[in-house]
Amino acid sequence: MSRLVLKILFFCFVSFLSVCPVLASEPDQTIQIHSVVQQMEAAYREVRDYTCEVEQLFYDKNGEDRHFRFKYYFKREKKIRVDFTHPYRELTLIYQGGDEKVTVLPLRFLSFLKLRFSIGDPSIKSLSGQRIDQTDMGFFIEFLGKNLGGVRQEDNEFLEEGDQIRFLFLGMDYVEGRTPEKYRIHISKKHWLPVRLERYDLKGNLLEISIIQNYVINSDLQDNLFKP
């Protein structure tokens, strides 16, 4: 091989190296989503407790199937309380982290009337199959991080508008991690927590919408709220 050819090859190689870092540093949608999830992780580390109001809609092939509303309470060490307002006006679920049982109050105003169910009992799972210990925002943020690292993201969308960020995300289902699904996620930059979650199958059929409002962060929730 002539010296001229070697010089040309060397020049091309050096030029390639000088261009690659620039190309690699170009922001794309996956990198933007990673950045948002990192912001969420950092913000959530400062959360001791929170409450929010949730409206949850489930869909089948005919459209809206079931509709729930509830107030959600969370305190570190995975203490969870769910006060339903629709369709069960007086139903409450209470869970203490590490417990294998969930306390059910069929009528909140009759606090002495308590039932205990296994955490895996289908009758107290959500319609998507979530156990109560899979419902807090810490679990959801871990789900995002895990799938961003392990599932190839395709056809992403990313939009930042006002105080919200919206992105499309591909992940394995958040219950068993077996079925690929699509999620359109709306994040509020005020608390770096989701305010709307849309779940779809890979064909684009809508499965579930959760609308989360009125976050109250670090209000020093009392332990007796979570007392079984």
| CATH number of the domain enclosing 220 | 2.50.20.10
Hey, what's the torsion of the CAs at 198, 202, 207, 209, to 10 degrees?
A: 0
Residues ≥6 apart with Cβ < 8 Å to 179: 172, 173
Print the domain residue range for 47.
27-226
pLDDT at position 9 = 39
**Is 65 part of a structural domain of the chain?**
yes
Phi first, then psi: what are they for 201, rounded to 5°?
-85, 175
**Is 10 part of a structural domain of the chain?**
no
Higher model confidence: residue 16 or residue 174?
174
Does 4 have pLDDT greater than 50?
no
Say how many domains are in the chain: 1
The amino acid occupying position 194 is P
pLDDT at position 155 = 64
**Is 181 part of a structural domain of the chain?**
yes
pLDDT at position 6 = 37
Does 14 have pLDDT greater than 70?
no
**Is 1 part of a structural domain of the chain?**
no
**Is 162 part of a structural domain of the chain?**
yes
Interior/surface letters 192-225, b for 16+ CB within 10 angstroms, e for the rest? bbbbbbbbbeeeeebbbbbbbeebebeeebeeee
Asked if 91 and 105 count as a contact pair (C-beta separation under 8 A), the reply is yes
Tokens matching residue 159: 């939009």
Indicate the pTM of the whole model.
0.84
**Is 17 part of a structural domain of the chain?**
no
